[in-house]
Amino acid sequence: MADFAPQPVDPGRVDVDVGAGTLRPEGPTLVRRLSDLEGLFRDQDAWRRDVEDGDRVVYQVSSSRVPEEPRELPQSITTILPGTCGGELYMTKGHQHPDPQGEIYLGLAGTGGLLLHDGKRTEWVDMAAGVVGYIPPGWAHRSVNTGNEPYRFLAVYPGSAGHDYGWVVEHGMGSRVMRTDAGHRLVAWDG
């Protein structure tokens, strides 16, 4: 694998391959399988069964070459595959930025949602191609695929924001997003 050690990036063009879900010049790609989402789905028995039964890929994050360094603006494309675990829609792990800073998501393909939680309030933004979801500083965020096709979005975030996954484990996200006959439904975190 190529070495993507942080280094200054010259001004320039980044090509977005909407069909492939990649950015060029290309940086690292991260693949998250069900086994990487331990403790995050409510139905832990279903999660264990699904991990043993093929451990499917849930999402992938393809980054550009812009480093996660102060004052930089890294970009990445996340692709969440369609699916459920114990009735809960496939989703990202979700995180808080330890250095509270805003972030934008631009929907590229498919349908999904942006779940936001600040420890008290919970918000939901329906996402589709052409929609910008805004994440204000201090709001933990998780993305969910609500459709039957891959849901894909571009994220742009401050390079010094950091990613705290423990916050979501400790505080939850306020709601869970379940598959229904009509589409999806938000339910209470412990409901």
Chain contacts with Zn ion (rule: CB under 5 A): 103
Instruction: Give the pair of three-digit tokens for residue 121.
Output: 């309030």
Instruction: Give the pair of three-digit tokens for residue 177.
Output: 């997003």
How many whole angstroms separate alpha carbon 114 and alpha carbon 105? 9
Q: Which range touches ligand PAN (CB under 6 A), out of 4-12, 18-26, 91-99, 178-186?
A: 91-99
State the nearest-atom distance from the C-beta of 75 to ligand PAN, in Å. Answer: 9
**Closest CB to ligand PAN among residues 61, 125:** 61
The binder of 92, among Zn ion, ligand PAN, none, by C-beta within 5 to 8 A per type, is ligand PAN
How many whole angstroms separate alpha carbon 51 and alpha carbon 147? 22
SS3 percent helix, strand, coil of the chain, rounded to 5, is 10, 45, 45
The binder of 152, among ligand PAN, Zn ion, none, by C-beta within 5 to 8 A per type, is none
State the nearest-atom distance from the C-beta of 128 to ligand PAN, in Å. Answer: 16
Hey, which bits of the chain come out as E strands?
A: 15-17, 22-24, 26-33, 57-64, 75-80, 84-85, 88-89, 103-109, 111-117, 122-128, 132-135, 140-145, 151-156, 175-180, 183-188
Q: Which of residues 26-65 bind ligand PAN (CB under 6 A)?
A: 61
In this chain, which of 41, 47, 88, 94 binds ligand PAN, going by CB under 6 A? 94
State the nearest-atom distance from the C-beta of 182 to ligand PAN, in Å. Answer: 26
Q: Is 76 in the site for ligand PAN (CB under 6 A)?
A: yes
The residues binding ligand PAN (CB under 6 A) are 61, 76, 78, 92-95, 103, 141, 143, 155, 157, 163
